[in-house]
């Protein structure tokens, strides 16, 4: 069964670490909007809110390309605080016949976000976060 795993959580929760772990050392592709803002040569991250839509588009395009290539497992990790942010992935999964699992990662280990997002902004994200348990 082909599987799409969406990993969601607040900045610093460990989404990237968990995604790398379940990718089995890169055996399965992992995508994230941070990819757009990270220089592949230096690893330097430079966020630009005005280009955020391009980052979302790239993440979705990479996911679809992997689906077209019939990867058995694809992992996407983003904040996904609102349901509509996951909708394009649900539609892709339906189109390409992927089973979807949504995992929510909690920051119970006291991790810090690596993108210097201040606590006020994280609290705003947390307030919008919705869980659908059934």
Structural class in CATH, domain 3-128: alpha beta
What the block records as the tokens of 48 is 């630009």
DSSP code for 100? E
Domain boundaries, the chain: 3-128
Asked whether 9 and 128 are in contact (CB, 8 A), the reply is no
Query: What does the pLDDT look like over 23-41, one tens digit per residue?
Result: 999 999 999 999 999 998 9
Contact between 100 and 89 under an 8 Å Cβ cutoff? The reply is yes
Neighbours of 60 (CB within 10 A): 17
**pTM beyond cutoff 0.75:** yes
pLDDT of residue 32: 96
pLDDT tens-digit series, residues 48-92? 889 999 999 999 999 999 999 999 999 999 999 988 999 999 999
Cβ pair 33, 59 in contact under 8 A: yes
């Amino acid at each position: 069964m082909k599987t799409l795993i969406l990993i969601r959580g607040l900045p610093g929760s460990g989404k990237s670490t968990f995604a790398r772990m379940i990718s089995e050392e890169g055996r399965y592709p992992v995508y994230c909007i941070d990819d757009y803002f990270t220089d592949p040569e230096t690893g330097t991250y430079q966020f630009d809110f005005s280009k955020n839509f391009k980052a979302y588009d790239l993440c979705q395009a990479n996911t679809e390309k992997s689906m077209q290539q019939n990867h058995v497992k694809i992992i996407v990790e983003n904040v996904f605080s609102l349901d509509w942010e996951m909708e394009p992935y649900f539609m892709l999964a339906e189109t390409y016949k992927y089973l979807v699992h949504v995992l929510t990662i909690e920051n119970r280990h006291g991790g810090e976000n690596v993108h210097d997002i201040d606590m006020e902004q994280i609290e705003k994200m947390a307030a919008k976060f919705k869980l659908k348990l059934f």
